[in-house]
Chains A and B, each alone.
Chain A
Amino acid sequence: GAGVSQTPSNKVTEKGKYVELRCDPISGHTALYWYRQSLGQGPEFLIYFQGTGAADDSGLPNDRFFAVRPEGSVSTLKIQRTERGDSAVYLCASGPAGNTGELFFGEGSRLTVL
C-alpha cells in the first residue's frame, strides 16, 4: 500500500486477555518501529526492527510485550495478560534504509483494556 497500515484500528479487551496488533509498513522500508502513546503524551519508543531482527527492544516495558517481524515486512506486536495500564494508542512507523531519521507513521491501534 501507499502508507503504513495498522490493524485493528480499535481493540477493546478484558484484563488478562491476549492481543495482537498488526503493522504493514511501506513497501521497501527496512526499518520498522513500534511506539506507545498515552492520552495527552508524546509517543514512547517500544522496539525497533532493521529487517527481520529486533535492533533495539529497550523500550518494551516488561516480558508481557513481544514483537516479531518474521519476513522483514509485516510486524505483529503481542501483549500477553493485558492490564488496564496497557490502554493506549500503539503507533507503528517505517523508514527507508539509512539513518535519515524521518519516519512514516500509521494511524495507530487504540487498545482499551477493561
Chain B
Amino acid sequence: AQTVTQSQPEMSVQEAETVTLSCTYDTSESDYYLFWYKQPPSRQMILVIRQEAYKQQNATENRFSVNFQKAAKSFSLKISDSQLGDAAMYFCAYSGANSKLTFGKGITLSVRP
C-alpha cells in the first residue's frame, strides 16, 4: 500500500519570504502522480500543483514549485514571496494505478505580516 508522510505539523513564514514544505512517500509503482493541495478554513481542497512521476522536470505554477526526487521518494513544495492568503493547511497526496488519492496528515502554514 502507498503511504504519504508529512512530518512537520506546523510551519511559519514571514510575508514575502520563501518556505519549503516537506513530503515523503512510499510506493512500489513506477507510474504515478503527486499533488499538493491547499485547504483554507472554507474546507474546500484546492489543487496547488501536480507532478507526473515520469517527468524529470520539476513542476512550477507561478510562486509555487516542487522539488521532486524520485529515487528518494521525496516531494517538497516551495512557496516563494509568501502572501497572507497562503495561510492554510497543505496536504501532499499520491495517486497511482488504483486512481485514488492518498493524503498525508497535512501541515498548517501560517504567514506573519
Chain A interface residues toward B at CB < 8 A: 31, 33, 35, 40-45, 48, 50, 55-56, 89, 91, 93, 95, 99-108, 110
How many residue pairs between the two chains, A and B, have CB atoms under 8 Å in the bound complex?
65
A101 to B98, CA, bound (A): 10
Minimum distance in angstroms from B67 CB to a CB of chain A: 19
In the complex, A96→B89 CA distance in Å?
25
* Stretch of B54-62, B77-85, B102-110 contacting A (4+ beta carbons < 8 Å): B102-110
Interface residues on B, range: 20 to 34
- A44 closest partner in B (C-beta): B103
Contacts A101-B35, A108-B43; A42 near B104 (Cβ below 8 A): yes
- The residue of chain A having its C-beta at the shortest distance from the C-beta of B92 within the complex is A42
For B103, give its contact among A43, A55, A107 (CB under 8 Å). A43
Q: Does B101 lie within 8 Å of A45, measured CB to CB?
A: yes
Bound-state CA distance A93–B106 (Å) is: 18
Q: What DSSP secondary structure best describes chain A's contact surface?
A: strand
The residues of A that contact B95 with a CB separation of less than 8 Å are: 99, 101
Q: Closest residue of chain A to B45, judged by CB?
A: A105
Contact B45 A101 (CB under 8 A): no
Known: A43-B101, A102-B50, A108-B43; 5 extra A-B contacts, CB below 8 A, are A43-B45, A91-B45, A99-B97, A105-B44, A107-B43
